[in-house]
Structure 1
Amino acid sequence: MLKTSNISGSQIANTIIIPMVVIVFVSVVSIFGLMHWSARISDESARDSEANLLSGALQLTSNYMVKQQVGVAVWDEAYRRVHAAELDTYWLYNNVTHWLFQNHGFTKSVLIDRDYQPEFIYAQNHTDRWMNEDLLNQMRPAIAKVRARYINTFRKTPSGLYSFVPHTSNSGHSIAETGVLSLAGEPYLFSAAAVMQQIQTVISERRPPAVLVSMVPLRGERLAEISEMTGLAGFVIANRQIDRPGIGQYQLTNPRGDTIGVVAWNANRPGSQLLQRINPYLVVAASMIAAVVIAVAFFTRHMTRRLAKSEQQAIHTARHDALSGLPNRSHFHRLLSDTLEQGTENGTETAVVYIDLDHFKDINDTLGHSAGDKVIAAIAGRLHSVVPDGSLVARISGDEFAMLIRNCVDDEWLDHILDKVQDEIAQPIKIGSRELHASLSMGAAVSPRDGTDPDDLLRRADIALYDAKENGRNRRSFFEPTMEDHVQSKDKLSRELRLAMKFDELDLAYQPQSDTYAKSIVSVEALARWTKPDGTVVPPSQFIPVAEETGLINDLGLWILNKACAKAHEWPSLSMSVNVSPNQFKHPRFVEKVMAILAANNLPPQRLEIEVTETVFAGRNDTVLKSLRRLKNLGVKVALDDFGSGYSSLSYLRRFPFDTLKIDKDFVSDMNGNAEAEAILVSIIQLGKALGMTIVAEGIETIEQIRFLQAHSCHRMQGYFISKPLNEAALRKFLEDFERTDGPDGPDYYYEAKIAKA
């Protein structure tokens, strides 16, 4: 029998090894072939990526040239002199072409008149021989595009005249084309811009503009800038393709589509480099295959014997948490299902208790995850030691545990058990030389009173846990039906809010801000409003917190920002203030989304003011500070809202240069007759002024408050005395009433009349 067993073992080994050798051999050959193919594809992809990178760098450089050129191309004086009966070449030299060379390095410039003829030629070396018919033919398509685009900006009015209406919101933007030209065999970057007026004009006949073409050679410092921008090395300008391995090439074409040169560089070859590094290892691996196959034959019998033992261990591992040794979530669910079935048969009650460690993240953040693991293990041991006989503890997730308590007598008995749990956890936990103190929040649900289905019972215990955490932590809650109603109502509200945003059922209200003496409205604050189709008004205090909890605040905040920016065009003289939730700054692309909204609505960043509270700095405030600085660098104003409502506001004023400081309305409402409150208010105003900030007082409701703030030169005021939040139509009427001339002093004294009447 033993010999037969050995033969059987050999046959099994051969059955496994022979197919394995064939498969491994084919696999090794395939891997070698695949690696070489992948290396070639990777090299080609890297070259294509670098070519795209170079193309983008050239485009960025060209766009920057347009911005440099716009100062002289979009200029009323330049337009008048260029299109005068006699060209003032002396003025053109000093104020346009030579100025462009001195300030931006444009070595050559030419002014093309309306008949496609060079009207004025400039070069750094004071020669005009460089301008020839071939160069003019190269730039002709670009000039034609500029002329056509300029003419298309005029729109015919009902009177028959033509009005200059550029496609951009700012008529100061240049109408230009960029590209590369070949001059004496050398590539030059050029920018061709229409010489145009700064302000909107009305003419009787559309005529093509004169076009200023400014050029800079693609060499030296300019080529070095592009190399630094792309991170590519070894740039060389060649007249034709270079057929050498490892060389990346980008063809330069003029506006006619003719190839005028090649930019070459030392291309990265990640595939080939990887192949060189990995080939020796593959060879070694192939050499080891034979040894591995032999070893497998010996290990097969040994591994078969260990398999049975490992199976039991694997089952235990699959059902238990590795760190604490407690049952895991899935095993706990199975045990709960069995216990509930037995409880139904025996008529006994079963309690499920969800447990969450309070502020466990702080331990990981301050002491490290190793200390956190030791705390978890210690808590697991303590929980296991205090549960009644026949009950069990499981680890559900990171810092969450669950207890299954069988044969629960009543709520008072269960309360006693949970008291023991909290008392045990309250004892210090020693981690090295430190003593840590932990606390628990617990939520309990009891079967059959709170349900007999395992999932329902777990969900209700979780709802009770949420109630305990929401009401202060370090406490416990027993499930009550009202808790589920509360959760369901919040869930319903969140779903309705999501649909309201989808179908554009939300709206904005706008609360005006006046200047110091209430003589002008300088800004409005956009506030979200929600009225359901049935006429039910949902206050912001109800749906904003739900949006924060459910993550809808990102979409809601961007919706408010987008609509406010779109409506800002209706009141061009006013700034638009929008509140931004702290959770929005957690989005990794928040700043890019703000930039996209501004661009989509053609709104200058300077007209937008973002209001944040000091809670936005909680947690990873370095990330928030970077985002705020990026917005501020774009021109967006940043206001610190509700200043003084927290204990650390002064530190934020030191860390970030806010544009605006909004004084919390509690300070304003408390100052009436209160010398201490008035002194604090004056101190805040003086502090903000010392830091160069605009000061806004919120919650203005009385004439006395207005006069006090005027006496201390508060920059802006906002509150019901100025105006309540208004819908779009009401704000329009409010501003019209304000601007209407009712007396000899005009609209500047609209609010003075209101003050006098008060």
Structure 2
Amino acid sequence: MAAKTDTGARLANAILFPVVGLVLLAIALSVGLIAYTSRSADIAALNSERNLLRGSTGLQLELLAKEQEGVAVWDQAFFYARPETLSTDWLNANVGQWLYSNHGHDQTVIVSVGGEPIYNSVRGRLKAPEQAEHLLETVKPLVARARARFIASFSRLPSGLYYVERPKTGFTRSLYETGFAVFEGEPAMVSVTAIGPEMKQFLSARRPPAVLVSLKKLNPPRLAALAERSGINGLRSVPDPRKATGGAYMVLKSPRAAPLGYLAWAAENPGSAILSGVGPVLFFLAATIAGLTGLVLFYTRQNTRRLAESEARAQHAALHDSLTGLANRDFFAARFREELADWEVGKESIGVIYIDLDHFKDINDTLGHAAGDEVIREAARRLRVLVPEEATLARISGDEFALLLPGCDTRERIEQVLKRMQDRFAVPMYIGGQHLHVSLSVGAATAPEDSLSMGELLRKADIALYSAKASGRGRWAFFDIGMEEHVRTRENLAHALREAIAREKLTVVYQPQTTIDGTKVLSVEALLRWTDPDMGAISPAVFVPIAEEIGLINDLGLYVLRRACQDAAAWPHLGLAVNVSPTQFRHPRFIEDLRDTLEACAFEPTRLEIEVTESVFADNDTDILKVLTQVQKMGVRVALDDFGVGYSSLSYLRRFPFNTLKIDRSFIADLEIAPHAHAILSTIIDLGEALGMKVVAEGIETRQQAAILLRTNCDRLQGFYLSRPIPPERILEAERRLAGDEDTAAPAMISLSA
């Protein structure tokens, strides 16, 4: 019996010990597995939270750079931040205070092209620039990289000039660098953006830019918002990582890679929660393990869902415009490619429509960027409800929108959509407490009629948009081949004009202004002429508007002024009249350019008379009147050209004492046919005499016109009857002829070809 018992015991032990061992081993393995799983889950959750926080922080840094873009990529900021045109007051009002009031930037610093601080404000209040030196020393690597990116973005043209090539895609069009610094003893986000022009500007050499440095302190409200976006709890700033619980912290490094602070938060630690729940109840190990496994899976699923949602948000942000919520250029291009890939012969056409808000820059300049942004948002809302459901509406850039309209069976269907747009925008927008009338210019192209290439269709729609604007704005145009030829011709003319100015291939001719009896030359008017070797003679009515459009009008005007002053040095007894375009007159350096030219040519200012038309008063007559006053203080005389054709000529005469009135040629042409023309002409002459102004009648083409004017109090005559415009070497000959030194019975026309 005892033997059987021992045998049974041995058998039981043989069975029990292994089973117990297996159970113990299973329990040990289970505990170890649970502990391992718990620790792994804690680490995974912590890494997930850290990655989410890092991604959210990166998005905030990009958003900070995006906020800077509105004032950094701006012609006026580029101008007023240059050493020669530095205006701290302007920068304070339009950069520092604007960034603080609209985006909450705590500190704004502008570094000049030479690398020293020229502007500093803290929370919108102007501070001494040298107080920002400590910050600039910290972010010096960011400043250096932003400047280097700007310089590297210069592209060289065949002419040898450079222009800045901005990013064509991406979150911003600016060239920037981001990082972290310390502000008031706490970590802060920093963005450094190169200040550059909005449009392409052509420079003779690559130059470093001024840079805009903006800073946002990571204060509790911003940390709370960052925590909410990242899906973490209790985010705070700590000086020492040892104060972070469970290693839940992220180091913030300065641009020099030195730690400057830490962001700590309350980690979820799902694994530890599981382990603490099942430790005391090993008896229910199996059930607990199953439950814990389910809990781990639940937490994993939650974290995965958060990651998926974050990725979806990031993907949406990458394909949509942040201001309007519309598709962006990348999304539009992708939809365009899909539609073209699905198109087959026999299918309906695909319409591509470019939309541009007319005079949007004027709204930005007069009402500010905030009002401009609201106009963009309101335009997007109106367009969104007007376009068909199957269409794709996108904001391409600035005030430009694009519409992809598939399934267009006829052009009339596209025109119906365009008409609804124009009708809707005929209703004023209520922006900033006032009603704004914002019209649209629209260009359209269709596939397959115009092309099956995405690039070609977009280009042709853009050409049609240009044609619509050229025809008067507030209208639409469909592409046709004649537009392309017109654009190509204008491009050729623009290129040839640049070459002509650069190589001084333009000529200046002069038309005399004589005494009332036509016998003595008192002054000459400089007139520009251009004869291209390939295109022949080109009228100023053609190339002057092109110079306005491509930004060459100031160079063109200075070219005429310089040549005229050089030529007129040979006639010290004669006055010189030079026309100044409205665009040239409004240029901020006009007074300096005028003074420099007179000094360089050693030309007496009292001999010069600049001629302006009423159109110079179109924008801000107060500023224009100040410039005119400065011109007169220099000794230069001012003439109002084409007097009588504007609706408000008399109001200008009342506010500004012009030296000379030039009667428009239309009044002279009517002298021999209109019964009241003589009376009107006499009234204008008497008005000029009463105001103490010299009066010049231009456009004298017949002996009868000259005879009529001889009986008036007009001071000077000018026209083909007396002399055509002539080259400078013929001026003295024209004087002798008009004085009667040559054998002529009456003034004869002097031809340029003679």
The superposition leaves residues 686-743 of structure 1 with CA deviations (integer Å, 9 ceiling, x where unpaired) of 2212222111111011222223222222111100111011122333432344467469
Aligned: 1:289 with 2:239: yes
Whether the 8 Å CA contact 1:518–1:752 is kept in 2: the answer is no
Preserved CA contact (<8 Å) 2:354 2:461: yes
- Please tell me whether the aligned partners of residues 326 and 394 of structure 2 are also in contact (alpha carbons under 8 angstroms): yes
1:532 aligns with 532
Match of 1:680 in 2: 680
In the superposition, relative to structure 1, how do residues 669 and 312 fare at CA in structure 2: closer, same or farther (>3 Å)? same
Three-state SS of the structure 2 residue aligned to 1:576 is strand
Question: Which position in structure 2 is the counterpart of 1:320?
Answer: 320
Aligned amino acid, residue 676 of structure 2: E
C-alpha separation between the residues in 2 aligned to 1:292 and 1:526?
Answer: 80
The secondary structure found in structure 2 opposite 1:332 is helix
Deviation of the 1:466 alpha carbon: 1.8
Q: Read off the aligned partner of 1:678 and give its amino acid letter.
A: H
Partners of 2:531 and 2:184 lie apart in 1 by 72
Report SS of the residue matched to 2:692. Answer: coil
Instruction: Tell me how far apart the structure 2 counterparts of residues 347 and 753 of structure 1 sit (CA, whole Å).
Output: 72
- In structure 1, the residue matched to 2:704 is 704
Deviation string 1:252-289 (CA, Å, 9 cap, x unpaired) is xxxxxxxxxxxxxxxx997489779x99x878449952
In structure 1, the residue matched to 2:422 is 422
1:541 match: 541
Partner of 2:716: 716
Tell me the residue number matched to 1:694. 694
Question: How far apart are 1:518 and its partner, in Å?
Answer: 1.9
CA-to-aligned-CA distance 1:543-598 (integer Å, 9 cap, x gap): 12221222221211111111111101111111111111111123221221121211
Taking the aligned partners of 2:424 and 2:458, their CA distance within structure 1 comes to: 24
1:511: Cα distance to partner? Answer: 0.5
Question: Cα 1:597–1:362, aligned 2, differ >3 Å: closer, same or farther?
Answer: closer
Q: What letter matches 1:289 in structure 2?
A: P
Aligned to 1:396: 396
Of the three residues 265, 280, 287, the one matched with 1:299 is 265
Match of 2:249, SS? helix
SS at match of 2:265: helix
Contact 2:721 2:747 in 1 (8 A): no
What is the match of residue 69 of structure 2? none
1:491-517: per-residue Cα shift (whole Å, max 9, x none)? 101111111122222111110000122
Which residue in 1 is equivalent to 2:338?
Answer: 338
Q: Which residue of 1 aligns with 2:471?
A: 471
The answer as to whether partners of 1:384 and 1:392 remain within 8 angstroms in 2 is no
Letter of the aligned partner of 1:687 in structure 2?
A: L
Q: How does 1:27-66 map to 2 (within 5 A)?
A: none
- Aligned-pair CA distance for 1:521: 0.3
Note closer, same or farther for the CA distance 1:667–1:410 as it changes in structure 2 (3 Å cut): same
Which residue is equivalent to 1:490? Answer: 490
What is the CA–CA distance in structure 2 between the aligned matches of 1:318 and 1:599, rounded to whole Å?
55
- Find the aligned partners of 1:4 and 1:469 in 2 and give their Cα distance: 70
Instruction: Measure, in 1, the Cα distance between the counterparts of 2:487 and 2:644.
Output: 33
Distance change in 2, residues 1:352/1:292 (3 Å): farther
C-alpha distance in structure 1 between counterparts of 2:373 and 2:132, whole Å:
42
1:171-186 alignment runs, 5 A limit? none
TM-aligned CA distance change 1:540 to 1:438, over 3 Å: closer
For residue 519 of structure 1, what is the aligned residue in structure 2?
Answer: 519
| Structure 2 match to 1:564 | 564
301-310 or 353-362, which moves further after superposition? 301-310
User: Could you tell me which residue of structure 1 aligns to residue 458 of structure 2?
Assistant: 458
Kindly provide the amino acid, as one letter, of the partner of residue 544 in structure 1.
V
Aligned 8 A contact 2:519 2:739 in 1: no
Cα shift readout 1:417-451 (whole Å, capped 9, x = no counterpart): 32333344445656698666554322110012111
Amino acid of the residue matched to residue 290 of structure 1? D
CA contact (8 A) 1:685 1:714 kept: yes
- Indicate the residue corresponding to 2:670 in structure 1: 670
- SS of alignment partner, residue 519 of structure 1: coil
SS at the partner of 2:653?
A: helix
Match for 1:407: what amino acid?
G
Query: Structure 2 vs 1, CA of residues 515 and 335 (structure 1 numbering), >3 Å: closer, same or farther?
Result: same
Which runs of no fewer than 5 residues in structure 2 stay unpaired? 1-32, 51-126, 139-181, 188-236, 251-263, 270-302, 750-754
Task: Tell me by how many angstroms 1:381 deviates.
Answer: 2.7
Q: Secondary structure at the match of 1:299?
A: strand
Q: Deviations over 1:292-342 (max 9, x none)?
A: 973736438579886553332232223222232111223222322222222
Paired letter, 1:403? L
Offset, 1:489: 0.4
Where structure 1 has 5 or more consecutive residues not aligned to the other structure, the ranges are 18-267, 744-749
Deviations 1:669-702 (A, max 9, x none): 1122534222221121122122221111110112
Aligned equivalents of 2:376, 2:425: Cα separation in 1: 11
Which residue pairs with 2:602 in the alignment?
A: 602
What code does the residue aligned with 1:296 have? Y
Q: Structure 1 residues 533, 441: CA separation in 2 closer, same or farther (over 3 Å shift)? A: closer
- The 5 Å alignment of 1:103-114 reads none
Q: d(CA) in 2 for partners of 1:375 and 1:535?
A: 44
Q: TM-score, normalised by structure 1?
A: 0.59
One-letter amino acid matched to 1:593: D
Maintained 8 Å contact 1:575/1:608: yes
Q: 1:406 to 1:688 in 2, by over 3 A?
A: same
| CA deviation map 1:427-484 (0-9, x unaligned) | 5656698666554322110012111222221111111122222223332211101011
Structure 1's 436 and 735: CA in aligned 2 closer, same or farther, altered over 3 A?
Answer: closer
Deviates most, 321-330 or 550-559: 321-330
Structure 2 residue matching 1:570: 3-state secondary structure: coil
Deviation at 1:534, TM superposition (A): 4.9
Alpha-carbon separation, structure 1, partners of 2:132 and 2:325:
47
Q: Please tell me whether residue 407 in structure 1 is matched to residue 404 in structure 2.
A: no
1:505 and 1:356 mapped to 2: Cα distance?
Answer: 37
> Amino acid of the residue matched to residue 559 of structure 1?
Y
| Cα separation, 1, equivalents of 2:536 and 2:432 | 59
CA distance 1:633–1:451, change in 2 (3 Å):
same
The residue correspondences of 1:377-396 to structure 2 (distance < 5 A) are 377-396=377-396
TM-score (ref. length: structure 2)? 0.60
Q: Which amino acid aligns with 1:299?
A: W
Aligned residue number for residue 554 of structure 1: 554
Superposition map of 1:112-191 within 5 A = none
Where does residue 350 of structure 1 map in the other structure?
350
Q: Distance in 1 between matches of 2:461 and 2:572?
A: 55
| Whole-Å separation in 2 of the counterparts to 1:334 and 1:612 | 51
Q: Which residue identity does 1:507 align to in structure 2? A: T
| CA gap 1:504/1:284 in 2 versus in 1, 3 angstroms | closer
Match in the other structure for 1:658: 658
Query: In the alignment, residue 526 of structure 1 is paired with which amino acid?
Result: A
Q: Is the 8 A contact 2:519 2:740 kept in 1?
A: no
Q: Does 1:614 align with 2:614?
A: yes
CA contact (8 A) 2:371 2:432 kept: no
CA contact (8 A) 2:737 2:747 kept: no
Q: Calculate the aligned-residue CA RMSD, in Å.
A: 3.8
- Are 2:507 and 1:507 aligned? yes
Contact 1:511-1:723 within 8 A present in 2 as well: yes
1:444 match: 444
Letter of the 2:726 counterpart: L
One-letter code aligned to 2:240: A
